[in-house]
């Protein structure tokens, strides 16, 4: 079954809805600054463009079926992202990002290429760089969590 057309239609619908929702964000700014709605509109526009690309793409070869291990890996990744969001709420940015980054690395690397030291280094680097960029350079708020 070729899933390009339904996925393209879903991306166009989600992107269009996201643009409509983002257009309703209103914050007083100076000099016609678009404010906080600029990034969601840009991201949703990219979704619409990608969706249109999938809708209008000619498909000559049928797509290969997704195997069981690939489904499990995809569902695991989706679960990790939900767990990361819950971890941000419970434990805060630093703890959740360390654990979440290591867990995502483990799933992406797979059993054959997984290395605990390498995953730990990635987790510390990602957490540190995101902290430096958002908290130090941009002065943005990073969640503290309710437990810590």
Task: Please give the chain's pLDDT, 148 residues, in tens.
Answer: 467 788 889 999 999 999 999 888 877 766 766 677 888 899 999 999 999 998 888 776 666 677 788 888 889 999 999 999 999 989 999 999 999 999 999 999 988 888 999 999 999 999 999 999 888 887 778 888 888 6
Structure token digits, residue 139: 């002065």
Question: What is the rounded end-to-end Cα distance, in angstroms, of the chain?
Answer: 48
Q: What is the pLDDT of residue 1?
A: 47
> Across the chain, how many H-helices and E-strands are there?
5, 0
- Count of residues making up the chain: 148
Between the alpha carbon of residue 11 and those of residues 7, 24, 29, 73, the distances in Å are 6, 20, 31, 22
d(CA 36, CA 30): 13
DSSP letter for 61, please. S
d(CA 91, CA 85): 10
Q: What is the pLDDT of residue 32?
A: 67
- CA 53, 58, 63: angle at the middle one, nearest 5? 95
Stated pTM of the model: 0.63
Q: What is the pLDDT of residue 80?
A: 93
Q: What is the pLDDT of residue 79?
A: 93
């Amino acid at each position: 079954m070729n899933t390009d057309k339904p996925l393209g239609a879903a991306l166009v619908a989600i992107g269009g809805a996201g643009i409509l929702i983002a257009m309703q964000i209103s914050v007083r700014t100076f000099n016609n600054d678009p404010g906080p709605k600029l990034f969601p509109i840009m991201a949703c526009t990219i979704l619409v463009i990608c969706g249109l690309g999938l809708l209008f793409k000619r498909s000559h070869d049928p797509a290969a079926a997704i195997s069981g291990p690939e489904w499990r890996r995809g569902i695991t990744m989706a679960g990790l992202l939900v767990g990361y969001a819950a971890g941000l709420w419970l434990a805060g940015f630093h703890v959740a990002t360390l654990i979440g980054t290591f867990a995502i690395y483990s799933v992406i690397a797979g059993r054959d290429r997984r290395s605990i030291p390498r995953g730990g280094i990635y987790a510390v680097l990602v957490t540190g760089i995101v902290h430096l960029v958002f908290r130090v350079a941009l002065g943005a708020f990073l969640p503290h969590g309710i437990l810590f």
